[in-house]
Amino acid sequence: MRKIQFLLLATAVAMAMTAMAQQLPVYLDDNAPIEQRVEDALSRMTLDEKIAVIHAQSKFSSPGVKRLGLPDFWTDDGPHGVRPDVLWDEWEQAGQTNDSCVAFPALTCLAASWNPDLARLFGRSLGEEARYRGKDMILGPGVNINRNPLNGRNFEYMGEDPLLAARMVVPYVQGLQSTGTAACVKHFCLNNDEEYRHQVNVIVSDRALREIYLPAFEAAVKEGHTWGIMGSYNLYKDQYCCQNQYTLGQILKGDWQYDGVVVSDWGGAHDTEMAVKNGLDMEFGSWTDGLAWGASNAYDAYYMAQPYKQLIQEGKLSTRELDDKVRRVLRLFFRTTMSNNRARGFLCSEAHYDAALEIAQQGIVLLQNKRSILPIDVDKARRVLVVGENAIKMMTVGGGSSSLKVQHEILPLDGIKARLAGTGIQVDYARGYVGDTTGEYNGVVAKQSLVDNRPAASLIAEAVDKARGADYVIIFGGLNKSDYQDAEGHDRRHMGMPYGQDELVEALARVNKNVVFVNISGDAVAMPWRDKVAAILQGWFVGSEAGKAFASILLGDANPSGKLPFTWPVSLDDLGAHALGTYPGTWRDGHKIIDEEYKEGIYVGYRWTDKQGKRPMFAFGHGLSYTTFKLTNLRIDKQQVAPDGSITATVTVKNTGNRAGAEVVQLYVSDLSGNVDMPVKELRGFSKVTLQPGQSQDVTITIGPRAFQYWDEQQSRWTTSHGKRTLLVGTASDNLPLKASFTVL
């Protein structure tokens, strides 16, 4: 009897388990296709659940669907490191003790490496830090084009050239998402100013939009397959870009067939119907977003929350748009929070610091090196003087949403002292100038005190006195991440350096011929004293390993190989945005909207200086090395190219110096067909190669067919320009000695 009872019980349990298995939602089956899991989950969701997942529930999170086992979704800044946790509804720190991070170099430094492999390493390393911290989406990278050197946020972007930005953003996104962490490429699009970012309405030709401002985003979508895109604050065609029928509806989701989510910048939505109909998928906001300050139901008051639900219930909106948004959000969940294939997380690992150091070393640009004064000769030097506040100032704190709370940051002075310890070389320091001594952002306080009340004259006098007997004077100057410098929310007011630094540099150059200026900034600064100093390094904001990176370059442990990702003008009038008087724009009546017309069109950066015959201070793609290279024997695989074909160029590169080093082979194309107005030349390909002394290597670059096209505004499509081309190859946009001709049929 007991045996029969056991069998009956076992049979009943088996039948019950079978029935339960049949009822299990498909989305729990990891072997089912994502789209099948998306449709299954969507069919099970209530209207309230659908509304909930498309807007925030806190400063950085949105809800999942607990009833269906879908966890909450957590976003975080930023592109250079995982931002410290803040309170649920406020920007202030949450007081965590495990939210420090590795600060990777700013994206201008990454772009200056001209090394896509490093971009992949950057993304992968950042994704691992995000995984450890429980973040599902990193709000970055940024790929807005450097149109104007005054933009306070240029340090977060990848330069002025659409091809360079495109080739760097794709592996970054792929590396980041390989960890199961979503990228959120930003700010889509035309976010080229900070000062009036909430009010500026950009007026730009379709051709410039497609050829200059969109290619990096397009590559991130079509090649990188980014899972997230963030809309920008500004307007285009009088519509905010977080709810824009042209950029989000027609281009992103129409032309490019984007299947990911569009996330609003924080507080970037302005109207429920516009947001619903014009492409926004997930709405986030600042504090409780300004719609219902302090109210307990503030998140329900978002445009995409209860107001949306009410319009559906009243029959004024259908659920068609809602279901499309929810599908995209569910797709995001199954790619991230619901995926069992996510990478392990690591926080502040040795590998991440190594990655940060390598990116910094390859991105630092040697702009000038008279008499080959660098690297520092440790056999002859006896005394090195380091000058400047930027040698002792933490640069990971501040600048806006990319501000970080680091485990450690090696300061330039400390890095140089550590490197020279035991060599017998004395390292002295003079402040030189006093700038921003606050060192605080959103509750993160720099672990240092920079207060110095001495007058400027005394600081300069001290530095000059110490410089007289020094073998090398290394000035760390430039900008910092204070307002109206390199910082979110404001643009710089001019190209000049703050805090009386020009006077300091001039004074030091008068008493010492071996002055090295290390410029810390995200963009170009005026250098009226350029010819009076021996060497200039562009140092960027290089993160946790800053001091070690600068010491390794200055002492020659690493050979600089960075190249400028933008044109460094002598003055603002050397660039179209300022020469044509279009920046910052013209206020409309009522001072609510400012129209900024990009009158220079496609002529941004080197395209403008080439057209005008201007000679910049430092050209796009410029960067020196401690060794020398020679490029020879350019050959192409064909003389005629079909419109849908490609052409391959090969050049022999030889390291003709006595140090190992890396060179960037740059390929530009001049369109001589005369079919349409074209720049003098445009970057169409590049490749970075590392060589030992005396070593030669063939470098091959293939281009086409986009390289043969322009955006035809009359037909609203890419059109091939048939006819003659000149292919130019060299190591900077103003150093292209090799040429070959071909014809596009």
Residues with a known catalytic role: 265
Tokens of 726: 């000149």
How far apart CA 175 and CA 173 sit, in angstroms, is 5
Residue type, 151: N
The CA-CA-CA angle for residues 43, 46, 52, to 5°, reads 115
CB of 518 within 8 A of CB of 537?
yes
Q: How many CB atoms lie within 10 A of CB 617?
A: 19
Structure-block tokens of residue 482: 């204070």
The strand order across the sheet containing 586-587 reads: 239-240, 235-236, 200-203, 594-597, 586-587
Whether the CB-CB separation of 292 and 298 falls below 8 Å is answered with yes
Q: Which is nearest to 663 in space by CA: 672, 654, 675, 671?
A: 654
**Closest among 728, 602, 620 to 669, alpha carbons compared:** 728
SS3 state of residue 556: coil
Alpha carbon separation from 597 to 79, 157, 578, 581, 636 (Å, rounded): 29, 21, 11, 10, 40
CA atoms within 13 A on the CB side of 152: 23
**Is residue 196 a contact partner of residue 182, using CB atoms and an 8 Å limit?**
no
- How many CA within 13 A on the CB side of residue 469? 9
How many C-beta atoms surround the C-beta of residue 30 within 10 A? 12
544: which DSSP letter?
G
Structure tokens, 27: 């989305």
Burial class of 423 by CB neighbour count within 10 A (0 to 12, 13 to 18, 19+) = middle
Cβ proximity of 657 and 616 under 8 Å: no
Q: What is the dihedral of CA 47, 49, 55, 57, to 10 degrees?
A: 140
